[in-house]
């Protein structure tokens, strides 16, 4: 299975290279020579396979970022070529149906190349914006359990704190939770980008501690798969030292204006020995509100039959780069967004940060603001 995956990736990279080279050959056509075109083809395939070799052999740190970035460049070239091709087809159809003299072929060719360049640059700027400027998703839900006063819950999953996403992102998150008057912040996994190196080097602990202290009930979190890739202990210690309340296969009870609300946090299923949800539920009073932090949304169907009122998850990034969002939603009962399923309410966030490279297309960096109402809540609304 592993070899089949590697072979598939290699084949896809060669196909992307072929498509990107073909697209650039068209774009360069008015100014090119056979020698220039040959150099361009060789350069694209050379870059692809050199980066692939470096990534496979792990010749330098974060080599996967370079191959990912190059793949993204080729992906954007292909998307640009597809859209430009559709426009060209439209002009061709109009010229076939109308007066051919009205359409100057040379002018259209230059115009399409200018459009392709502007669109390609705009695509990069838009995807950077989508990665670094978060949207705020507000919803209000009502549960059939006692809760006289609404609880304002902020959810920021998948921060992936590292060299490309750090202190400024934490400060921005602090501004958001303050502006929307959140009571508590939940971070369901992938808080660090594999290790604490950048977290320590850039002194992010101070910013994270400020974020924790700014919320009435602080920050609750659980670890995701990227927090468990060999650096679990230092990540755990860094978060706890900043005041984050970690719930890894653990439960805790929060008193919200005199009423109990239970929080359950699960390890990501990368941790093979993790405790079953049913066992954790045995430690709480399920007649009272129960909120579950579970990094992956893979157990939503099972959890929808349990006395869980709200589950918050992440992990999927909503695909991060189009068209992966379609794949994410095809393989998950709920790959992204909010839905009431069975007995509970479920929120799967696309994440506050990003994985690998700072680009998002078809997804958006986001924070969820959930107003949790219960029996007796003032201004209780259904989502």
E strand residue ranges, 169-323:
184-188, 219-222, 245-246, 250-256, 259-265, 290-293, 310-313
Is residue 26's pLDDT more than 70?
Answer: yes
pLDDT tens sequence across 297-335? 999 999 999 999 999 999 999 999 999 999 999 999 999
Q: Which two tokens stand for residue 56?
A: 């496979």
Query: What burial letters (b/e) apply to 316-327, b meaning 16+ CB within 10 Å?
Result: bbbbbbeebbee
Q: Which residue has the tokens 């934490």?
A: 170
Distance CA 247, CA 222 (A): 5
Q: Which has the higher per-residue pLDDT, 348 or 356?
A: 348
Catalogue all structural domains in the chain, each as residue range(s) with its CATH number.
2-130 (no CATH), 134-375 (3.60.21.10)
Q: What is the pTM of this model?
A: 0.89
Is residue 10's pLDDT more than 70?
Answer: yes
pLDDT tens sequence across 136-167? 999 999 999 999 899 999 999 999 999 999 99
Kind and range of the H or E element at 136?
A: strand 135-146
Mean pLDDT of the 250-271 span: 94
Helix extents (H) in 98-203: 105-132, 167-179, 197-201
Q: pLDDT band at residue 381, thresholds of 50, 70 and 90?
A: very low
Distance CA 330, CA 325 (A): 9
> For a pLDDT cut of 70, what percent of the chain falls above it?
93
pLDDT tens sequence across 177-215? 999 999 999 999 999 998 999 999 999 999 999 999 999
Distance CA 362, CA 15 (A): 22
pLDDT tens sequence across 56-69? 887 777 778 888 99
Out of 69-73, 104-108, 302-306, least confident range: 104-108
Q: Which residue has the tokens 């390609």?
A: 120
């Amino acid at each position: 299975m592993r070899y089949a995956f590697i072979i598939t990736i290699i084949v896809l990279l060669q196909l992307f290279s072929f498509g990107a080279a073909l697209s650039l050959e068209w774009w360069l056509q008015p100014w090119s020579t056979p020698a220039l075109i040959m150099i361009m083809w060789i350069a694209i395939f050379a870059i692809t396979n050199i980066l692939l070799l470096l990534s496979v052999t792990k010749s330098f740190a974060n080599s996967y970022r370079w191959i990912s970035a190059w793949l993204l460049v080729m992906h954007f070239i292909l998307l640009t070529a597809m859209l430009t091709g559709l426009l060209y087809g439209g002009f061709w159809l109009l010229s076939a149906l109308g007066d051919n003299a009205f359409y100057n072929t040379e002018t259209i060719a230059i115009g399409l190349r200018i459009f392709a360049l502007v669109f390609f640059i705009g695509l990069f700027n838009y995807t950077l914006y989508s990665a670094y400027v978060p949207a705020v998703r507000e919803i209000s839900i009502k549960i059939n359990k006692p809760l006289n006063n609404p609880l304002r819950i902020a959810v920021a999953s998948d921060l992936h704190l590292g060299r490309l996403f750090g202190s400024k992102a934490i400060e921005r998150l602090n501004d958001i939770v303050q502006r929307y008057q959140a009571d508590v912040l939940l971070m369901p996994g992938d808080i660090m980008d594999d290790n604490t190196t950048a977290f320590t080097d850039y002194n992010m602990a101070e910013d994270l501690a400020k974020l924790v202290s700014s919320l009435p009930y602080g920050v609750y979190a659980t670890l995701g798969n990227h927090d468990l890739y060999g650096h679990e202990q230092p990540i755990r210690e860094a978060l706890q030292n900043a005041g984050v309340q970690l719930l890894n296969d653990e439960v805790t009870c929060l008193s919200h204006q005199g009423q109990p609300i239970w929080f359950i946090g699960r390890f990501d299923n990368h941790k093979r020995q993790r405790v079953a949800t049913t066992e954790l539920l045995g430690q709480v009073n399920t007649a009272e509100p129960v909120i579950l932090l579970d990094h992956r949304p893979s157990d939503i169907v099972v959890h929808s039959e349990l006395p869980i009122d709200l589950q918050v998850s992440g992990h999927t990034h909503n695909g991060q780069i189009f068209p992966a969002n379609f794949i994410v939603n095809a393989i998950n009962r709920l790959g992204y967004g909010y839905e009431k399923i069975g007995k509970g309410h479920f929120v799967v966030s696309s994440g506050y940060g990003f994985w690998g490279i700072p680009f998002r297309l078809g997804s958006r960096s986001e924070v969820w603001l959930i107003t949790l109402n219960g029996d007796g809540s003032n201004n209780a609304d259904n989502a």
